[in-house]
Homo-oligomer: A and B are copies of this chain.
Amino acid sequence: MLSFRLGMGQTEHMTTGKGGRARARAQITAEILDAGRRQLATEGAAGLSLRAVARDVGMVSSAVYRYVASRDELLTRLIIEAYDALGATVERAAAGDRHPADRFLAAARAVRAWAVEHPHEFLLLYGSPVPGYAAPADTIGPASRPTLALFGIVTDAHRAGALAPRSPSEAAVASPLRSDLAAVNQALGTDLPDDVLVAATAAWTQMFGLVGFELTGQTRNVVHHHAELFDACVVAMAEMIGLRADSAP
C-alpha cells in the first residue's frame, strides 16, 4: 500500500489548482497549529509532541519541520495565540463606560473564565516555563495585553478622579522601588500615585495567583466555590486600589 503512492504530497493537502503554493502552505500551517492547540488542551504543555501533531495532520514527523522550525517554535506560536486570545477576552470585558469598579470585576472574571476554560493554556502562559524553553521577544508584546487592560481600568479611574483615597499608612514606598514604579507609569503613559501602583500590582498578582492555585488544585478539598471566592478577593483588592462601586463615576 505504501509501496506505490508515487512520490509524495497531495495525500490530502493537495493545493487543488490555483491559489498557489503559498495558500496551501498557510492552510497546512494553520492545520498544524490547530492540531497543536488541540493537543495542548488535552495533554498539556510538556506533553505536546511534534510527532503526534504530525500524525494528527496526516504527515510524517519530518515533514512538519517544513512548516515549524522546532517544537519550541510551535510552542512559541501557541503561546502568542493564547496571550492574544486571553488579552482580547479581557479587553472586551474591560471595555465600556461603566463604573471602573464594575469594569475591573468584569475583567477579572474574564481572566478566570478564560483560565478555567483553557487551563493548560493558562498554565502554559503563567505556570512553570517549559524546561529548555526560553520565551523569545515576540511574546512580550502579546503577553502584556491582559495586564495593560487591567491597569488601564485603574488609569481611567484615576484620570476621572474616581479613585477613593487609600489608607494613609500605605503611603511610604521604599526609594529603590520608586524607579520601577516610575517606569510603569511611563509605560502606561500616566502618573498614578505609588500606592495605587503597588495596590494594582498586588491585585494583579493576587488574581493570577488565585486562578493558578485553583487550576493546579492547591485549594482542592478546601475551596469548592471558586467563583465566589475569586469575586470576594477581587472586590477586596479593588477596594484596596480605591475602586469603590459607590464612588463618583
Residue-wise interface mask of A (33-75) relative to B, using a CB-CB cutoff of 8 A (1 in contact, 0 not): 0000000000111110000000000000000000000000000
Report the minimum CB–CB distance from A241 to chain B (whole Å): 10
Distance in angstroms between the alpha carbons of A77 and B140 in the assembled complex: 35
The winner among A44, A127, A198, A202 for most chain B CB atoms within 10 A is A202
Question: In the complex, A168→B5 CA distance in Å?
Answer: 75
Known A225-B176, A225-B177; contact A209-B198, beta-carbon cutoff 8 A: no
| Contact in complex: A170, B235 (CB < 8 Å) | yes
Nearest B residue to A43 via CB reads B131
Given contacts A201-B229, A232-B198, A235-B170, contact A131 B222 (CB under 8 A): no
User: How many monomers of this chain does the complex have?
Assistant: 2
CA gap between A175 and B235 in the complex, in Å: 15
Which residues 131-189 of A have a CB within 8 angstroms of B?
A: 131-132, 135, 140, 143, 167, 169-170, 173-174, 176-177, 179-180, 183-184, 187
Other-chain contact of A143, B202, B218, B231, B235 (Cβ < 8 Å): B218
Q: Name the residue on B nearest A216 (C-beta).
A: B129
CA distance A212 to B123 in the complex (A): 12
Which of B184, B208, B223, B232 contacts A174, CB < 8 Å?
Answer: B232
Q: Which residues of A contact B (CB under 8 A)?
A: 43-47, 123-124, 126-132, 135, 140, 143, 167, 169-170, 173-174, 176-177, 179-180, 183-184, 187, 195, 198-199, 201-203, 205-210, 212-213, 216-218, 221-225, 228-229, 231-233, 235-237, 239-240, 244, 246
Return 22 A-B CB contacts under 8 Å, by A number. Answer: A46-B46, A123-B129, A126-B212, A140-B221, A143-B218, A169-B239, A173-B232, A174-B231, A176-B228, A177-B229, A180-B222, A180-B223, A180-B228, A201-B229, A202-B206, A202-B210, A202-B237, A205-B209, A205-B213, A208-B213, A209-B212, A236-B240
